[in-house]
Structure 1
Amino acid sequence: MRADAAGVLGILGGTFDPVHFGHLRLAQEAADCLQLDGVRLIPAGQPRHRGTPGALAADRLAMVRLAAAGVTHFTVDAAEVLSEQPSYTVPTLERLRGELGETQPIVLIVGADAFAGLPRWHRWRELFALAHIGVATRPGYSLEPEQLAPELAAEFANRSATPEALRGAAGGCIVPFSMTPLEISATAIRALIGARRTPRFLVPDEVLDYIEAHSLYRQAP
């Protein structure tokens, strides 16, 4: 089934500066563990919670498209890159709801560290009316109540569910899943390139070729 057909659609947003195998593995393991019918990758155009990206939005979008090419259950959404507005998750989900309808199950895919910071997100309580949340866990990040902000711990206790529950509603559940630990970061990749070292085997070959052809990240962060 293609990624945007009727079924459970995963959403993975990010700066993707550059996209690497950690991002792609997260998308794949979310699809497997949460029984998703597809994953839509959404590069942020103007991320609000990070510094200025090392590559232009158009380059980051192009690299994500190269990385996703040939993976039938991955699609790429260019709307955030094309927008002149800052990228926030709730408006993005509202846009998707308008596109996909009110009954399409949508799963926002986040890491456990990002999930723990959810109370700092713009309009974060509105997320649950718009989507489910799939939380990728790995060693070093805990979802124990004492490790979460009280308001988030309460939401987690009330909304925790299994992957099977995702098909029964358009949103509102929180489903943790285990992810293979991969110590790959975009920051480290940019540093390697800035130091004139290769990030081969950390990014897809097509992405590496694009980086080299466009002389991206030549200055270390």
Structure 2
Amino acid sequence: MVNQSKPILAIFGGSFDPPHEGHQAIVKLASKYLDIDKLIVVPAFLNPFKKTSSALASQRLEWCQTLFDNIPKVQVDDYEIQEGKSTTTSQTLKHFNSRNHVKYLIIGADNLSTLEKWHQFEWLNTHITWVIITRENYPIISDSLKSWKVLSIHKAMSSTAIRDKQDLQHVDNKIKHSVQKVLQGKHIMKIEQSIENIVQILDQNKADDIEVFNLEDADYIAKRVIISNSLNGKHTIALAEHIKKALKETDEDILYSDISDDWAVLDLGDTLIHIMIPEYRQRYSIETFLSELVEKQKKNADIDPA
């Protein structure tokens, strides 16, 4: 029998990478309509089903505290972050059950298809009531659940989409600037990793005179430009094909390509790649133009230190 003197809790865990309006709506609705003393928001150090997170655990904790700590009956807890490793839901619930009665576990409907793979699912299924948050295009499949209820949230958004598209319209203004800085930093890191990969492919396949131009702050159509020489027309096409194959393996999109014997152009959005026979490179002198842009952005930075 449950000791009713213990506070009754609902647990809402997740990566919150970043937290958004959907999370806020869930917290407000659950804290209002569930018969609980407190709703505990638990940011994960690392989701057991993910390899990495975009923002540091400490940053995600800070975002959650900013958004949720002032809501009545809601508390952000750093238990999983203090563990410093991926923590199973059953371990977290047992931790909070030592001094409380965890009655509800809040999950998204997108979790239902893999729920039985969770560590100690049978134990979880016996000890808590699942609170399922509706998500567009995810049906409520509850055959394996012993006790459950549904909370309907009509907000079609996800942290993944926010990260991938860098669209912050569904991120609260209280944390928007901080989230933007993190996402921009990760995006630049991704660009640098892609550049390193492309340069390595060109070098391994005997491209010559490889140059990379950083145009991050210049008024230009790309953030990076790579220029390299081919040995001849067939080599131009071969180098372009090597890059296309490698980018496909890393799920990078080529937005546009124009490939001929003399000159191949690959447009990745943030990065432009030019592979040219030496005669064309000398004739069109693209690097002279790009070097002038780099110098201009340096001068502008010196004039405006902000």
TM-score, length-scaled by structure 2: 0.54
More strand by share: 2
1:190 partnered with 2:163: yes
The AA in structure 2 aligned to 1:109 is I
How far apart are residue 138 of structure 1 and its match? 4.3
How far apart are residue 134 of structure 1 and its match? 1.1
Please state whether the residue corresponding to 2:155 is helix, strand or coil: coil
1:141 partnered with 2:138: yes
Match of 1:117 among 109, 114, 119: 114
**For the residues of structure 2 that align with 1:127 and 1:99, how far apart are their CA atoms?**
17
Select the structure of larger CA radius of gyration. 2
Cα 1:97–1:6 shift into 2, 3 Å: closer
**For the residues of structure 1 that align with 2:125 and 2:154, how far apart are their CA atoms?**
27
Contact 1:46 1:86 in 2 (8 A): yes
Contact 1:45 1:83 in 2 (8 A): yes
Cα deviations by residue, 1:78-124 (Å, 9 ceiling, x for unpaired): 01011133221000011111132xxx252000112213321111111
Match of 1:216 among 167, 176, 182: 182
**For the residues of structure 2 that align with 1:74 and 1:112, how far apart are their CA atoms?**
22
Contact 1:97 1:130 in 2 (8 A): no
Contact 1:136 1:178 in 2 (8 A): yes
Cα deviations by residue, 1:136-163 (Å, 9 ceiling, x for unpaired): 234533235xxx6xxxx2x43xx3xxxx
**For the residues of structure 2 that align with 1:190 and 1:15, how far apart are their CA atoms?**
13
Q: How many correspondences in the alignment? A: 183
Partner of residue 81, structure 2 = 81
1:12 partnered with 2:15: no
Q: CA RMSD in A?
A: 2.3
The AA in structure 2 aligned to 1:118 is L
**Structure 1, unaligned runs of 5 or more:** 160-172
Cα 1:96–1:178 shift into 2, 3 Å: closer
Cα 1:7–1:58 shift into 2, 3 Å: same
How far apart are residue 208 of structure 1 and its match? 1.0
Partner of residue 224, structure 2 = none
Contact 2:131 2:151 in 1 (8 A): no
**For the residues of structure 2 that align with 1:116 and 1:86, how far apart are their CA atoms?**
21
**For the residues of structure 1 that align with 2:116 and 2:102, how far apart are their CA atoms?**
23
Partner of residue 181, structure 1 = 154
**For the residues of structure 1 that align with 2:62 and 2:35, how far apart are their CA atoms?**
28
Partner of residue 250, structure 2 = none
**Structure 2, unaligned runs of 5 or more:** 191-306
